């Protein structure tokens, strides 16, 4: 079931995150606190979650993506105490980027394309690691087919 963020009032935040791959690597963004993150962010009230994800990825990286499969939906409590629903999606770049095409916003200080197997030891939220692993499984099934 796909998340509907447009038609229901809510007393919690909704965030959309993108697992975007280049070959067998995933794009990660590093915050100033050193934590790695998936591109994406807050879904505005009344905004379609996929539309919000495309907007957020563009704002944070300067890149455009196609939003494919919803991978997971989890809830977590933010530092301010508010509950946040986080939806992760498998995405593809509209145009395969080179590193010089990525224009980071002020929210992040660095980026990296990290091989699937190398994300386990990074300072990355557990639900982001799970979304990356789910995408890795999609790649494995596609190769086997």
Q: What is the pLDDT of residue 80?
A: 78
Q: With CA atoms as reference, report the closest residue to 72 among 18, 5, 122.
A: 18
Between CA 63 and CA 56 the distance in angstroms is: 10
Burial class (CB in 10 A: 0-12, 13-18, 19+), 34: exposed
Domain boundaries, the chain: 13-139
User: Band of the pLDDT at 1, cuts 50, 70, 90?
Assistant: very low
- Domain spanning 13-139, CATH class: alpha beta
Q: Quick: pLDDT tens for 11-64.
A: 778 899 999 988 889 999 999 999 999 999 999 988 999 999 999 999 999 999
What is the pTM assigned to this prediction? Answer: 0.85
């Amino acid at each position: 079931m796909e998340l509907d963020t447009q038609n229901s009032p809510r007393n919690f935040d909704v965030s959309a995150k993108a697992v975007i791959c280049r070959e067998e690597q995933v794009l990660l963004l590093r915050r100033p606190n050193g934590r790695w993150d998936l591109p994406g962010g807050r879904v505005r009230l009344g905004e379609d979650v996929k539309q919000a994800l495309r907007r957020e990825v563009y704002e944070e990286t300067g890149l455009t993506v196609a939003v494919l499969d919803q991978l997971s939906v989890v809830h977590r409590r933010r530092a301010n105490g508010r509950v946040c629903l986080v939806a992760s999606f498998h995405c593809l770049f509209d145009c395969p980027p080179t590193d010089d095409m990525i224009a980071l916003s002020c929210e992040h200080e660095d980026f990296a394309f990290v091989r699937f197997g190398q994300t386990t030891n990074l300072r990355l939220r557990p639900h982001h690691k799970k979304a990356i692993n789910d995408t890795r499984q999609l790649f494995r099934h596609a190769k086997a087919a």
